[in-house]
C-alpha cells in the first residue's frame, strides 16, 4: 500500500515536471517568435517601406560608385595639415577628458567618495549625461559657444570622453582589493591618502588602458567633428561634399582610413608597453 502511494506521488511529480518543461518551452518559443516579429516589423517600417526602391538599380549604383572611384590624388598634399589637426584634436581631447574624468570617478565610487551618497548620485549623473549625448551634438553646442575651429571639436570630444573613462575607473575603484584600504584605515590614514596609496596603484592599469582605448576612439570621432565646423579632416570632407567633388571625398576617406590604421597601430603598441 505504501509502495503504491509512493509510486503515485513520483508519477504525479514527474507529470508536474513535464508540464513545467512544456510551459517553459512554450514561453521560450513565444519570446523568440515575438522577437522575430518585432525585428521583421522594424525592417519593414525602417528599410522596406521608407526606401525609394525605384532609384536603387544596378545602373545607378554602379554610376555612383564610379564617381567615387576616381580618387583625386592631387588633393592629398592639401590634407596633410587637416590630418595633423585631427590627430592633435584626438590627443588633446583624450588628455583633457581624462583629467576631468578622474575627480568624477573618485566622487562616483561608493567606497572612496569623500562627500557621501549625494556625490555618488551627482557623479553618476554626469557620467550618464556625457555618454548619452552624441559627440556631434556636443560639437554643435561648443561651436555655438566657442565658434568654428578645432577648439570646439576638442571640447566636444573631451566632454564625450568623460563618461566612459570615469565610469570604468569608478567601477575599478569599487572593485579594488579592500585589504590595503583597511590596513591604511587601521593606521589612521585619511581618504586622500587611501586614494593615492591604496586605491590608485590598483586602478592605474585600468585607467591607462581605457585612456588609450578612448584615444583610439577619438581618432575616429575627430574625423567627423569637422562636419559641424570643428576643423580637421571632417571639415575637408564637408567642403568636398558641398562642392560635389566625389574624387575629393574619396581622397579624404583614404586619408581618414590611413589615420585610423596608424591610430590602431599606435594604440596597440602603447597598450602592450604600458598596461
pLDDT digits (tens, 9 = 90+) for 42-99: 888 877 777 766 666 656 667 777 777 788 888 888 888 888 888 888 889 999 999 9
- Of the candidates 105, 261, 258, 82, the residue with the CA atom closest to the CA atom of residue 169: 105
Cα separation, 238 vs 242, in Å, equals: 6
- pLDDT at res. 96: 93
Domain ranges of the chain: 2-51, 75-274
Q: What is the C-alpha to C-alpha distance for residues 253 and 82, in angstroms, rounded to an integer?
A: 12
Q: Does domain 75-274 have CATH number 3.40.50.20?
A: no
| Structure confidence at residue 245 (pLDDT) | 84
Query: Which pTM value belongs to this model?
Result: 0.71
CA distance 6 to 78: 88
Q: Alpha-carbon dihedral of residues 201, 202, 205, 211, nearest 10 degrees?
A: -80
Predicted confidence band at 2 (pLDDT cuts at 50, 70, 90)?
very low
| pLDDT at residue 26 tops 90 | no
Going by pLDDT thresholds of 50, 70 and 90, the confidence category of residue 145 is confident
Please say whether the beta carbons of 215 and 90 come within 8 A: yes
Amino acid at each position: 500500500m505504501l509502495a503504491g502511494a509512493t509510486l503515485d506521488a513520483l508519477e504525479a511529480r514527474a507529470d508536474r515536471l513535464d508540464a513545467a518543461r512544456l510551459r517553459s518551452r512554450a514561453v521560450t518559443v513565444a519570446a523568440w517568435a515575438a522577437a522575430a516579429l518585432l525585428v521583421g516589423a522594424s525592417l519593414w517600417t525602417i528599410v522596406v517601406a521608407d526606401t525609394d526602391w525605384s532609384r536603387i538599380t544596378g545602373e545607378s549604383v554602379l554610376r555612383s560608385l564610379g564617381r567615387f572611384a576616381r580618387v583625386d590624388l592631387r588633393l592629398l598634399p592639401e590634407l596633410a595639415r587637416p590630418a595633423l589637426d585631427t590627430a592633435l584634436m584626438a590627443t588633446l581631447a583624450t588628455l583633457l577628458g581624462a583629467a576631468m574624468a578622474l575627480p568624477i570617478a573618485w566622487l562616483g565610487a561608493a567606497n572612496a567618495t569623500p562627500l557621501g551618497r549625494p556625490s555618488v548620485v551627482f557623479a553618476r549623473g554626469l557620467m550618464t549625461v556625457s555618454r548619452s549625448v552624441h559627440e556631434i551634438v556636443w560639437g554643435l553646442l561648443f561651436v555655438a559657444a566657442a565658434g568654428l575651429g578645432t577648439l570646439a571639436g576638442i571640447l566636444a570630444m573631451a566632454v564625450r570622453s568623460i563618461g566612459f573613462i570615469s565610469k570604468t575607473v569608478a567601477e575599478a575603484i569599487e572593485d579594488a582589493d579592500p585589504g590595503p584600504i583597511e590596513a591604511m584605515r587601521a593606521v589612521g590614514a585619511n581618504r586622500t591618502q587611501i586614494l593615492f596609496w591604496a586605491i590608485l596603484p590598483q586602478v592605474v592599469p585600468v585607467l591607462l588602458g581605457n585612456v588609450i582605448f578612448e584615444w583610439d576612439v577619438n581618432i575616429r570621432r575627430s574625423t567627423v567633428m569637422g562636419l559641424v565646423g570643428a576643423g580637421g579632416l571632417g571639415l575637408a570632407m564637408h567642403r568636398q561634399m558641398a562642392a560635389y567633388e566625389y574624387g575629393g571625398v574619396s581622397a579624404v576617406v583614404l586619408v581618414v582610413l590611413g589615420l585610423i590604421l596608424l591610430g590602431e597601430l599606435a594604440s596597440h603598441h602603447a597598450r602592450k608597453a604600458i598596461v
